[in-house]
Amino acid sequence: MSEPLLKVDDLRKVFPGRRGHDDVVAVDGVSFELAPGESLAIVGESGSGKTTIARMLVGLERPTSGSIAMGGAILDVSSRRAKDRRARARRLQMVFQDPYSSLDRLQTVEQILSDALSLDPDAVRESRAEQVRILLTSVGLHERHSRMRPGGLSGGQRQRVAIARALAVKPDVVVLDEAVAALDVSIQAQVLNLLKEIRETTGTAYLFISHDLAVVNQVSDRCVVMRQGRVVEQGTTAEVLHHPQDSYTQQLRDAVPRPGWSPTRSAEAPR
Amino acid sequence: MTDALLQVSDLTITVPAGEYGADRRPVVSGVNLQIGAGEALGLVGESGSGKSMTARAVMRLFAPGVQATGTVVFDGCEVFAMEDEQLRLLRAHRIAMIFQDPRAHINPVRTVGAFLIEGLCASGVSTRDAERRVTSLLAEVGISDGSRRMAQLPHELSGGLLQRVMIASAVAMDPDLLLADEPTTALDVTTQSEVMAILAQLRTERGLALLFITHDLELAAATCDSTAVMYAGSIVERQSSRQLLTHPYHPYSSGLMVSRPDLDAVRQRLPVIEGQPIAAFEAGEGCAFAPRCGYSQPACLATTPALVAVQGGEVACHRASELQGQLPTAMEGGGDV
């Protein structure tokens, strides 16, 4: 295996409990690696800590302990210095679940993408419009969309804009946090195909966070299964999904509706 | 006249549009459906297909300005013609509804117990009896520490627990029909499986009929007797769930099935339905699905296909008989492995 692009080591995040309550350990000693061009999925249900990991990677949360290294160098994700933040943003981008709240509704698509493009110090200002056009085409949108604001776009189109914005700086890694979960079934398939195509042409690595095992099976090479802040199992997606070693992974798999499936009640008391 | 518990005929719903609501836009157009006592019907569609509006029409739950035509007959009574008191009794005792987000449908400053006993107390049951009945209802939906939960406030409960509380409250008055509008969409898969199992159990034990609304065709097909698929405000196909999975008649139903990623097979490219879902008022001439349909022909754009009976169900597609047995299904994987 080549040198990992991203190495997360013993990552831990504790949120202080509100008055009278215990502290919440959201992420508890999580380690994984991401190779260049690889697609790694983090699977888990609500409260598993998967989103907290994503937020720590892009600097939206400060880890309690542990380290995140990119390309061998320890990334100071807690740094609030503009220089450090820009350096991180050039290498690591994020696409959020809800394209309704992750785009500035007052900006046009062109402004949204231009702002992202301006992170690249080598970018030439003059060709900005051309770069925007190329970006839009790469996510299956048309030049005419550049003058529109998010309010005029459908959910699927907005998510394409969010993906284009993430790709603008040609990052090494894109973190996709439930990026297709809010989309209609027919749109979800289009965006999944687009993501696959982008990875094949650009070699961008994905950290794909999802609760949906079928989606994970389609998009990832390897996956990490999380439960209550801990990794319960990791391996190649085919191994983990088809021959789960952990009973929780099996439980997740059994709960996915498919032809011939019937719902079951577990013996455990609901929490 | 059929003896179905619920018979919806030619239901069309319009909402105001334009300045001062001068124009009206259809969101549901010409929907027919029926549910027999104790039967479960899945209603599947994407955003804007009109599935939630159809369910709300059954209880005549409309926002101001919404107009509906057609008829909804429940147990022999015409819902749109009911007097206020009759409608109140229908909503209180005969039909119950649960929603996607239980938190938006429960008073956050009152305890779970107060919420649960309210309906029973209003119909003359004493507080003590109501509490006893509610505790056993909570046990039925898998909440064994009912008395502790009843003293809690909604924010202290997880989404899955709160949805169970909603189900308990919905069946407290022993209704004949439950309208479930995406009740598991916001839940984790393991919780979804539990909630669906609880609904299945309540149906068998109480003979409860169910209208289950979802965007997930496979979930509907796995849990309901029959499944109807809606597109742009109309039903495009209805048949028994088992047969729908193996022999879809409508290209849209087939497309919904094969475009879902599979748990076992990895496809180089997912077969997609091009374009995006539309609402009834955005539909042009002819078949509303034709612009996105891989099987459309010039005739499809000319006239709107009617929902006609076919073996084991109904379909609204000009090419249904030609395409019969040829549409790909989820069973076949729909592509290369």
Q: What is the pLDDT of residue B333?
A: 47
Write out the two tokens for A28.
Answer: 């508890």
Contact (Cβ atoms closer than 8 angstroms) between residue B176 and residue B11: no
In degrees, rounded to 5, the angle at the alpha carbon of residue B34 between the alpha carbons of residues B260 and A187 is: 20
Within an 8 Å CB–CB cutoff, is residue B160 touching chain A?
Answer: yes
Local confidence band at A217 (pLDDT 50, 70, 90 cut-offs)? very high
DSSP string for A46-78? TTSSHHHHHHHHTTSS--SEEEEEETTEEP-TT
Determine which of A55-69, A73-87, A185-199, B240-254 has the lowest per-residue pLDDT on average. Answer: A73-87
| Same-domain pairing of B47 and B96 | yes
Single residue among B224, B259, B278 that ends a domain in this structure: B224
Q: What is the pLDDT of residue A47?
A: 87
* A212, pLDDT greater than 60: yes
Mutate to test the interface with B, among A201, A218, A219, A254 (most CBs of B within 10 A): A218
Q: How many domains does chain B have?
A: 2
B93 located within any domain? yes
B window 241-270, beta carbon within 8 A of A:
245, 255-256, 259-264, 266-267, 269-270
Distance (Å) from the C-alpha of residue A229 to the closest C-alpha of chain B?
Answer: 16
Reported as a single tens digit per residue, the pLDDT across A124-155 is 667 888 889 999 998 989 888 999 999 888 88
- Chain A hits for B221, Cβ within 8 Å: 259
Residue A170's region, left for phi above 0, alpha for psi from -120 to 50, else beta, is left
Whether residues A189 and B273 touch (CB distance < 8 A) is answered with yes
Q: Which residue has the higher pLDDT, B148 or A2?
A: B148
Whether residues B277 and A187 touch (CB distance < 8 A) is answered with yes
Whether residues A259 and B190 touch (CB distance < 8 A) is answered with no
- Chain B hits for A255, Cβ within 8 Å: 189-190, 192-193
DSSP string for B44-79? E--TTSSHHHHHHHHTT---TT-EEEEEEEETTEEG
Q: What is the pTM for the complete model shown? A: 0.91
B44 located within any domain? yes
User: Which pairs from A100-107 meet CB under 8 Å and 24+ separation?
Assistant: A100/A150, A100/A155, A100/A158, A102/A162, A103/A150, A103/A158, A103/A161, A103/A162, A103/A165, A104/A150, A105/A149, A105/A150, A105/A151, A106/A149, A107/A149, A107/A150
Q: Where are the domains of chain A?
A: 6-105+172-254
Give mean pLDDT, residues A166-172: 92
Measured CA distances, A228 to A34, A52, A66, A152 (Å): 22, 12, 18, 39
Mutate to test the interface with A, among B144, B260, B289 (most CBs of A within 10 A): B260
Residue linked to tokens 């669906």: B196
Single residue among B224, B254, B279 that ends a domain in this structure: B224
- Chain A hits for B216, Cβ within 8 Å: 185, 257
pLDDT tens-place values along chain B, 337 residues long: 457 999 999 999 999 987 676 789 999 999 999 999 999 999 999 988 999 999 999 999 999 999 999 999 999 999 999 999 999 999 999 999 999 899 999 999 999 999 999 989 998 999 999 999 999 999 999 999 999 999 999 999 999 999 999 999 999 999 999 999 999 988 889 999 999 999 999 999 999 999 999 999 999 999 999 999 999 999 999 999 999 999 999 999 999 999 999 998 898 999 999 988 999 999 988 999 999 999 999 999 999 999 999 999 999 999 999 998 899 987 654 443 3
Give mean pLDDT, residues A106-115: 94
| Same-domain pairing of B237 and B219 | no
- Chain B hits for A266, Cβ within 8 Å: 190, 194
Q: What is the pLDDT of residue B335?
A: 41
CATH code, domain with B66: 3.40.50.300
- Chain B hits for A157, Cβ within 8 Å: 276
In angstroms, rounded to a whole number, what is the distance separating the alpha carbons of residues A45 and B222?
A: 22
Mutate to test the interface with A, among B144, B190, B214 (most CBs of A within 10 A): B190
| Same-domain pairing of B234 and B129 | no
Give mean pLDDT, residues A54-68: 91
Domain hosting residue B119, numbered range:
6-224
| Same-domain pairing of B102 and B202 | yes
Q: Which of A16-20, A258-262, B310-314, B326-330 shows the highest mean pLDDT?
A: B310-314
In CATH, A6-105+172-254 is 3.40.47.10: no
Residue A32's region, left for phi above 0, alpha for psi from -120 to 50, else beta, is beta
Distance (Å) from the C-alpha of residue A62 to the closest C-alpha of chain B?
Answer: 26
Instruction: Look over chain A and give the mean of its residue pLDDT values, rounded to a whole number.
Output: 90
ipTM exceeding the 0.90 mark: no
B window 94-113, beta carbon within 8 A of A:
none
B195 located within any domain? yes
- Chain B hits for A268, Cβ within 8 Å: none
Whether residues A264 and B47 touch (CB distance < 8 A) is answered with no
Whether residues B259 and A189 touch (CB distance < 8 A) is answered with yes
| Same-domain pairing of B59 and B179 | yes
| Same-domain pairing of B103 and B209 | yes
| Same-domain pairing of B294 and B205 | no
Q: What is the pLDDT of residue B2?
A: 53
| Same-domain pairing of B110 and B135 | yes
| Same-domain pairing of B24 and B72 | yes
Distance (Å) from the C-alpha of residue A66 to the closest C-alpha of chain B?
Answer: 28
For B253, the 3-state DSSP assignment is helix
- Chain B hits for A195, Cβ within 8 Å: none
B1 located within any domain? no
Query: Which chain A residues touch B if contact means CB-CB below 8 Å?
Result: 45-46, 154-157, 184-190, 192-193, 196, 211-215, 217-219, 241-242, 251-266, 269-271
Whether residues B189 and A196 touch (CB distance < 8 A) is answered with no
Distance (Å) from the C-alpha of residue B117 to the closest C-alpha of chain A?
Answer: 22
